[in-house]
């Protein structure tokens, strides 16, 4: 079983090393993160978008991994979901769920394939955390989200990744988005280490 130490995965330093780690973790990711640790990031997102997004909204699951957020969205009635991830191994698991219209290899922080103003919402769980997607990712996510659309995501709160709060303020000051929701922190792993906490953040694209 390819078990991952969470402290190790949060502090990987290169994109290639991160991709390799997730490729290796793909077969056992759901069992470890969801089954054993009780990760709640996707539930936090789905509970916060209830009533905010119509069932036919076109959603991008950014950093989809094995598709656990997509599965939660589909269970809640959302039916137009795309996804991307840097790991081919993780996307193979997501594809098998049958809940996505399409899934693409992509690295957050780099140029993305979708056209301007494509999505009604971009959602992301467990991606804006140390050692993962950088704050610069939001420029492309804003570009591919229509005006009035939603960018909603969890972010590690007990060990907040560097540069994100200044980026949030910069994007607001430049008139690219405006704040919508900042939840209280929750313990991310309901059956794991209680020091890991996340908040749900949401911004409306201007």
Phi, psi at 11, each rounded to 5°: -125, 30
pLDDT digits (tens, 9 = 90+) for 3-37: 677 778 888 889 999 999 999 999 999 999 888 99
- Asked if residue 1 belongs to a domain, the reply is no
**C-alpha R_g of the chain:** 16
DSSP-derived letter for residue 28 is G
**pLDDT computed for residue 2 by the predictor:** 61
**pLDDT computed for residue 62 by the predictor:** 98
Number of compact structural domains in the chain? 1
Phi, psi at 163, each rounded to 5°: 90, -5
Domain that holds residue 164: 6-205
Instruction: Say what the alpha-carbon torsion angle 159, 161, 163, 164 is, to the nearest 10 degrees.
Output: -90
Question: Mean pLDDT per segment of 10 residues, for the chain of length 206 residues?
Answer: 73 92 94 90 94 96 97 97 98 98 98 98 96 96 98 95 97 98 92 86 98
**pLDDT computed for residue 1 by the predictor:** 46
**pLDDT computed for residue 5 by the predictor:** 75
Cα 19 to Cα 9, 22, 127, 133, distances in angstroms: 11, 5, 13, 12
- Asked if residue 13 belongs to a domain, the reply is yes
Do 153 and 200 meet the contact criterion of CB atoms below 8 Å apart?
A: yes
Question: At 17, which CATH number?
Answer: 3.40.50.150
**pLDDT computed for residue 7 by the predictor:** 76
User: Whats the size of the chain, residue-wise?
Assistant: 206
**pLDDT computed for residue 3 by the predictor:** 66
How far is Cα of residue 89 from the mean position of the Cα atoms in its chain? 17
Mapping DSSP to helix (H, G, I), strand (E, B) and coil, where does residue 138 land? Answer: helix
């Amino acid at each position: 079983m390819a078990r991952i130490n969470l402290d190790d995965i949060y502090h990987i330093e290169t994109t290639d090393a991160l991709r390799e780690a997730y490729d290796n973790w793909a077969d056992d990711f759901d069992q470890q993160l969801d089954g054993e640790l009780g990760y709640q990031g996707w539930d936090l997102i789905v509970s916060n978008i209830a009533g905010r997004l119509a069932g036919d909204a076109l959603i991008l699951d950014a950093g989809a991994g094995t598709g656990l957020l997509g599965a939660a969205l589909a269970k809640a009635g959302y039916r137009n979901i795309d996804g991307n991830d840097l790991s081919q191994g993780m996307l193979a698991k997501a594809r098998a769920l049958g809940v996505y219209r399409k899934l693409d290899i992509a690295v957050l922080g780099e140029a993305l394939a979708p056209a301007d103003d494509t999505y009604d919402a971009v959602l992301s769980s467990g991606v804006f955390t140390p050692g993962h997607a950088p704050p610069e990712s939001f420029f492309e996510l804003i570009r591919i989200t229509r005006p009035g659309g939603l960018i909603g995501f969890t972010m590690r709160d007990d060990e907040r990744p560097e540069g994100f709060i200044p980026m949030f303020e910069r994007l607001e000051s430049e008139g690219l988005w405006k704040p919508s929701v900042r939840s209280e922190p929750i313990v991310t792993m309901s059956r794991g280490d209680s020091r890991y906490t996340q908040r749900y953040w949401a911004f409306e694209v201007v």
